[in-house]
Structures are given as C-alpha cells and as structure tokens.
Amino acid sequence: MELNRQMPEIDDQTLNDLFAKVKQKYGYDFSRYRREMVKRRLFKRLLNSEVEDYHNYIKLLERDAQEFKRLIEDLTIKVSYFFRDPFVFEFLAYVVIPELIKTKKRNNDQIIRIWSAGCAYGEEIYSVAILLLDYFERKKMNIQEYEIFLFGTDIDESALEKAQKGVYPEESVLEVKKRFLDKYFVYKNGLYYLRDEVKRMVTFCQHDVISSKQITPPSGVICNYDLILCRNLLIYFDISLQKQILLNLYHALNPGGYLVLGEAESLFGELELLFDCLNIKTKVYQKRG
C-alpha cells in the first residue's frame, strides 16, 4: 500500500466494533483513549497490512493473531528511556528522596513504597531504584534498614517480561550518568544489562489504570504509596478518564506522598486543591495531608 496515502475516515460504528474486539480478546478498553491518537495508530497498521480498508482490517484481526498483537503494541506506545527528562530525576534525587527519608526517620517508619504506573520496559522505575541506591550510598546509610517496595506496572504483559530481563539498547541509556552506567550496568555485545542489585529491587505486574477492579498494583495489595510516577500515559486519555485515574492515584498515596506527571500532563480543576505543586517544570506534586 502507498505510504503517502491520506488517512481515510473511520466511522464511529467501525471504531466501536474494533474496540469491542480488543476488549473481548485482551480485556483492554481503548474506547476512552484519545480518538485522534487511536485513528493515527490504526492508520499506520492499515498501511502496513495487506488490506485496503478498516472494515477488512477488522476481519484480518480475526485470522491473524500476530497482527492483533502488533495493533495492541502500537496502541500502547512504549517510548521510554532511563532518566527521561533528567531534571525530573535531579529533583527526585536532591529534593524528593531526601525529604521522604527525613520524614520516614522522623516518623520512625522504615517502609518505602513507590509505584511507576505505565512503566513500559521498566526504565523509569529502575531509574528510581538507582537513585535510591545512590542516595543511601552517598549518605553512608544502610539501605537494609528500610523495607523498600518498588512496583512497575503496565497494561502490556510483554513489556513487563522485557522489563524483568533488564536488558537495554544504547538509546535507552543515553541520559544515564557515566558513574551510574559504570556501577549499575554491564555492557556486552552492544547491550546494557542491569545489575541484579537494581533488578531485584523492583516487582513488575500487569495493571490497567482504567480498570475499576483494581486501583493499585495487584502485588502491592495495600495502597500507601510514598511516591507515584504516572508519566506520559494520561495524555492518551480523555479528560474525564484522566480525572478518574488521578483521583485513584490520590487515594493510593500516603498523606504527604509525591505524584510525578509527564511534561505535557498537569493537575486541573478541583484536583489542584488536593495537592501542592512543588515544581511546575518537573510536574512534581505533593498530596496535602
């Protein structure tokens, strides 16, 4: 199919048929993802397929499980890398983590719980793990004195399998400081392997932020998060869904807990009354407690 073809219109009925098929097969509900994004991604798949129109594309999904998988992969955009938006991670390293540990000490609380929602291949939550290891080392404190629970969740199980392996191409580690790269990765045959010390800190599990069945990662059991990162995921949803998810995250946080959103995401409306904005550039918020 020609690549310079104009994007054909897709009517609501056909789109709804597609959403119903995805829901039936995978249990995912794409009906509240931004329509324009869905249409663009769908068009890309159509161009790469053997069929000419959406009606036949939906039929194709019935007989081609691989194409169905590729569609899901394209709809759940997994662009990420270690220390994405480095200033955010500087803010976490030098403001949020020190404040959090100070509060933990003051309250004689040794449990730290952090969740990355929509973690892609684990780059974000592993970056936080590295920051914690680094913090305890710089402060000459024993990390073993704390029980640290780090969760990475994503809707896409195949992404989580990759996350668990902890093996990354060079593009994923371009923002990693040299001292972290030397200390926490092993380079072999063009790939970067995360050291076990970092990998074993994180638990990955499948979790759909839209699902009303669980508002928190299943293996997290209780909420009580000290820090939640939900970056570059809300942008794919309509405003009412963003609000619903942000409220869930609010309830999953401890009073005084931190929420980090993506660069193009913000709190809005009455949600702004529930948090203090600590730094607008890094989109770091703190739950009022």
| Contact residues: ligand SAM, CB under 6 A | 76-80, 84, 118-120, 124, 154-156, 159, 208-210, 231-233, 262
- Contact residues for 178 (Cβ-Cβ < 8 A; gap 6+): none
- C-alpha separations of 235 from 62, 129, 142, 241 in Å: 30, 25, 39, 10
How far apart are alpha carbons 195 and 59 in whole angstroms?
Answer: 45
Which C-beta is closer to ligand SAM: that of 101 or that of 241?
Answer: 241
CA dihedral of residues 264, 265, 268, 274 (deg, nearest 10):
-140
Give me the least distance between CB of 80 and ligand SAM, in Å please.
Answer: 3
Q: Which of 209, 155, 124 is nearest to 22 (CA)?
A: 155
As a whole number of angstroms, the distance between CA 125 and CA 118 comes to: 10
- In the bound complex, what is the minimum distance in angstroms from residue 75's beta carbon to ligand SAM? 8
Nearer to ligand SAM, 46 or 159 (CB): 159
Q: Which is nearer to ligand SAM, 184 or 237 (CB)?
A: 237
Closest approach, Cβ 22 to ligand SAM, in A, equals: 12
CA distances from 162 to 42, 118, 125, 235 (A): 24, 14, 14, 24
Query: How far apart are CB 59 and ligand SAM at their closest, in Å?
Result: 25
In whole angstroms, how close is the CB of 131 to ligand SAM at the nearest point? 15
Q: Which is nearer to ligand SAM, 22 or 112 (CB)?
A: 22
| Complex with ligand SAM: residue 206 or 224, whichever CB lies closer | 206
